[in-house]
Each structure stands twice: as C-alpha cells, then as structure tokens.
A and B are shown apart, each in its own frame.
Chain A
Amino acid sequence: DAGITQSPRYKITETGRQVTLMCHQTWSHSYMFWYRQDLGHGLRLIYYSAAADITDKGEVPDGYVVSRSKTENFPLTLESATRSQTSVYFCASSDPDRGRGYGYTFGSGTRLTVV
C-alpha cells in the first residue's frame, strides 16, 4: 500500500533496553523526519534526513540514533531507553520539489512506554 508506515504501533520496554522504531515510505520522498509528541510540548523534532546517508539532529536528539541506508526507510533507535523517552513517536516524509506549500505526510505513530 502507498503511504508511510510505522511499526510497531505500541511498544512497552524496560529501562536500559535498546529499541528500534521503524518507518517506511513508498513515495521516494527525499526528506524524512522523526518527532516525539508529549503533552504540553506539541511535536519536537528528534532527527531528520535530507536523503539516503544524510542525517542531522533536531531539537531533542540525545539518546537517539538514526540511519538511512535506503531512501524509503528511516529507523529510529533508542540505544538505552529511559523513562523520559516514554512518548508517542511520529515519522513523516516530505518532497521539497513540490514547493513551499507542500507539507508533510505523517505516519500513524508509535506509542512507546518505558517502564
């Protein structure tokens, strides 16, 4: 199916464990993003990628690692999960060639709970 898919939808993990959240898009959009959503903070940018093998930090990158070996995939890894990383994580993609008014397309999110 065309679109942007995140997996898993829900995840519970223990403090100190490594967790990887997956994001896959089918449009070959060059830009991909990871945001976390927390009450009172809206969405905050964790990492973004302008193309395969090009990634850069956002506002809140500490404790996270990303990679982008293929255009369509942009996994987010929590190297050693902490309770403060309990959040809803959203992946998004964007095609800058469509101009200033083109927004993002978001996945459905992953709700991560760290216990």
Chain B
Amino acid sequence: LAKTTQPISMDSYEGQEVNITCSHNNIATNDYITWYQQFPSQGPRFIIQGYKTKVTNEVASLFIPADRKSSTLSLPRVSLSDTAVYYCLVGDNDYKLSFGAGTTVTVRA
C-alpha cells in the first residue's frame, strides 16, 4: 500500500477555503486517491475519489497533478460544521482501507 503523508492539523476561519495536501510518492499505476471525513463520535464518511486531474462534487474538489505523487483536497468556504478529521487514502483493488493519522481541521468563527 502506498504510504501517505498529510499535515497533522490545520486551522481556518469560516468562509475561507481550506486546502489539505497529501503526499503519496510511491503511488502505483492502478491506485486511486480517496478522501474521508470523520466527525467526533461518528464513522469515517466518503468525500471524494479521483485518479488524475481534477474531480469536483458538491462537497469538495480534488486536485491531482500529472505525476500523481500528491493530491490536494479543497474545501470551499468552510463553516464550523466542517471541523473534522480528514483522511487521505491511496490504494487500488484493495478492501483494506489504510487510514493514517489524518488531518484535524478546526474551523473557527
């Protein structure tokens, strides 16, 4: 499994854009990049998944450069309710999701 590195924590204010970058230098050709969000006392929740370039949904955008050795999750105009832990996962046809420590994002008023 490709190892991922992401910041331990990030602080932001309401209305700002939050960008979390994840490094995955040894990503394999067949690997996808997936992000999960976890609120306190809840299980992880799927946010977005991509393979290359840019993916956007109603929650976030995922930017993946051509070399795919990193990816950036972008949360537009965060609110207090976006305070959570965000996990970057990399893998292919593998059901064993490998969660790292994640990035704790704290949004302040």
Do chains A and B stick together as partners? Answer: no
**A interface with B by C-beta (< 8 Å):** none
**Contacts from B to A (Cβ < 8 Å):** none
